[in-house]
Structure 1
Amino acid sequence: MREIGRRVIKQVKKGDHCAFKKLVQHYHQSVYKICYMIIGDNKAAENMAEDIFLHVYNHIGDYQETTKKFSLWLFQKTVNLARTQFNEKNQTGVHASPVLNKDNNIKLILMNISLKERLALTLKSSNHLSIQEISEVLEIPNSTILTYIWRGRESLRTMISQ
């Protein structure tokens, strides 16, 4: 995925709503996919993505260009906030479940592998991040990321062949 320009980030930091709209349009699908992989429900993932962008807007001043790419900072925020929100909802007895239809069978299959494997596969396949970048986002070692990707692919192969 192409990184959004530094100029846009600087404009967002200054409160430019048009620049923020560009940022949301650029990253919305990626953030949504991560949210969906965590909770498995389209509507809840969409709501969660909106919440994450509001959080990002309110905390854009925390982003330091010198420490990491914006997309990695955003995806790390997304994973952490979505996990937290999902865990809070599950503790209150609200459980998301994938809605079945003929177009999302692969999504249903994905929901049957571990969260860590789903996230690693999503960040690799959909968001086109390198192993090092996935490691930064999930804050775990490269070797563990490679293991999650391998296990996830093997699990998918097994489930699809059945």
Structure 2
Amino acid sequence: MDLFIKKRIRAVQKGDQNAYADLVDLYKDKIYRLCYRMLGNQHEAEDAAQEAFIRAYVHINTYNPDMKFSTWLYRIATNLTIDRLRKRKPDVYLDEEVNGTDGLTMQAQLPSREASPEEAVESLELQETVQRAIERLPEKYRSVIVLKYIEDLSLQEISDILGLPVGTVKTRLHRGREALRKQLGHL
């Protein structure tokens, strides 16, 4: 896989737009999911994901081949979503109401087994509750929680994406989990 990606990147750097389409196809779902979990709004997440891919394309010549392409792309997307969050709401508090579940469809995330209607409703409500709790986290905790638990990235990958020491990532994960635990303690 890495060889395929490196070949595609070299082709893009030589001007092959079709090679970039291959990279977009490979990462579009992951980048959208990251943006959605950070922003909590389908349309805004689509815009942010698209902008991340455009920025990556425009700056592909600055890509360091010693770094994983996915890490570089996640960093671009994470920085974009953080910038959008800062523009949207300058101060975020843990107990503050946050809107942003527009267009949220949780049906795709239901387990494939047949569930009773009651179980389906409970599952949707729980997922919506967790998503709202994540949205209420300050951006510095939200980003590490999403990257670790939603995107399943390692501490080192998160460190590379956010440009933070691993120790800081661990601290933010701990504090983010504690904040979520306080918000979701009633469950």
> Which TM-score bucket, shorter chain as reference?
0.7 to 0.9
What residue ranges of structure 2 are gaps of 5+ in the alignment?
Answer: 91-97, 105-123
> What RMSD over aligned residues (CA atoms) do the two structures have, in Å?
2.4
1:146 Cα deviation after fit: 0.7
SS where residue 152 of structure 1 aligns?
helix
- What is the aligned partner in structure 1 of residue 149 from structure 2? 125
Distance 2:25 2:132 in 1: 26
- Pairing 1:7-156 to 2, within 5 Å after superposition: 7-66=7-66, 68-90=67-89, 97-99=99-101, 102=124, 104-156=128-180
What residue ranges of structure 1 are gaps of 5+ in the alignment?
Answer: none
Instruction: State whether residues 82 and 139 of structure 2, in contact with CA within 8 Å, keep that contact through their aligned partners in structure 1.
Output: no
Distance 2:88 2:100 in 1: 15
Instruction: State whether residues 30 and 126 of structure 1, in contact with CA within 8 Å, keep that contact through their aligned partners in structure 2.
Output: no
Matched pairs, number: 156
Amino acid at match of 1:79: T
Distance 2:19 2:129 in 1: 36
TM-score normalised by the chain length of structure 2: 0.72
Amino acid at match of 1:70: F
Deviation by residue 1:82-116 (Cα, 9 ceiling, x = unmatched):
3234434557xxxx831266453321121122212
Distance 1:82 1:159 in 2: 23
Distance 1:29 1:106 in 2: 21
Instruction: State whether residues 117 and 149 of structure 1, in contact with CA within 8 Å, keep that contact through their aligned partners in structure 2.
Output: yes
TM-score normalised by the chain length of structure 1: 0.81
Instruction: State whether residues 11 and 19 of structure 1, in contact with CA within 8 Å, keep that contact through their aligned partners in structure 2.
Output: yes
Distance 1:122 1:29 in 2: 14
Deviating more after overlay: 151-160 vs 109-118: 151-160
Q: Give the % identical residues.
A: 31
Instruction: State whether residues 33 and 122 of structure 1, in contact with CA within 8 Å, keep that contact through their aligned partners in structure 2.
Output: no
Instruction: State whether residues 76 and 137 of structure 1, in contact with CA within 8 Å, keep that contact through their aligned partners in structure 2.
Output: yes
SS where residue 44 of structure 1 aligns?
helix
Distance 2:139 2:85 in 1: 12
Amino acid at match of 1:6: K
1:123 Cα deviation after fit: 1.3
Query: Given the superposition, is the C-alpha separation of residues 104 and 25 from structure 1 closer, same or farther in structure 2, using an over 3 Å criterion?
Result: farther
